[in-house]
Amino acid sequence: MMMLMDDLIAAIDDLKREDLEVWIQTALVQPDEDAGAPAFTEIECARVQLICTLHYDMDVEVAVLPVILELIDQLHETRHRLRSLSNAVLAQDEDVRAAILAVLGTK
């Protein structure tokens, strides 16, 4: 479900319009602008919520926000790869899994 900027600002108490505009300009959030007005997918809404918590509640400065978000994105990317890899390993026969565990130095 897409949200328009006004809806998003109404949904998140702390969120200030001018801040959100800066975040969009600096590509911290990337709303869909095809329809004319910026529209936010659920993932972008959640991202805005995260930025609000970091910035308003945890006093993370604007200049530092991209660094943190970049690291969080990298973490998710890595987690995603780890999951895919683990799923691939799980699909193998037990002896293959055991061999992999052995190489990882556990068991």
Partner 1 sequence: MKDPYEVLGVKKTATDKDIKTAFKQLARKHHPDLHPDDKQAEAIFKDVSGAYDILKDKEKRRRFDAGEIDATGAERPQQQYYRDYAGAGAGPSGTHAGQDGFASNEDLEEFLARAFGGGGGRGRAQGTRKARGSDVSYVLPVTFMDAANGTSRTVTLPDGKTLKVTIPEGAEDRQTLRLKGQGMPGFNGGPTGDAYVELHVEPHRFFERKDDNIHLEVPVTLQEAVLGAQIEVPTISGPVSVKVPKGSSSGTKLRLRDKGIRNRKTKQRGHQLISLKVVLPTGDEPELADFLASWKPKAEQHPRKEMLS
Residues that bind partner 1 (CB under 8 A): 13, 30, 32, 41-47, 49-50, 53, 57-59, 69, 72-77, 79-84, 86-87, 89-90, 97, 100-101, 104, 106-107
- Main-chain phi, psi angles of 62, to 5 degrees: -55, -40
Nearer to partner 1, 37 or 75 (CB): 75
Residue 37 or 89: which CB sits closer to partner 1?
89
Please give the biggest Cα pair distance in the chain. 58
**Shortest distance, position 18 Cβ to partner 1, whole Å:** 21
Which two three-digit tokens encode residue 23?
């975040």
Structure tokens at 57: 């509640």
* Residue listed under structure tokens 């899994």: 97
Of the pair 63, 90, the CB lying nearest partner 1 is at 90
CB of 79 to partner 1, least distance (A): 5
Contacts of residue 16, defined as CB under 8 A and 6 or more positions apart, other chains included, come to 9
Provide the minimum distance between the beta carbon of 70 and partner 1 in the complex, in angstroms, as a whole number: 9
Residue number, 58 or 63, with CB nearest to partner 1: 58
For β-strands 39-40 and 3-4, DSSP reports them as antiparallel
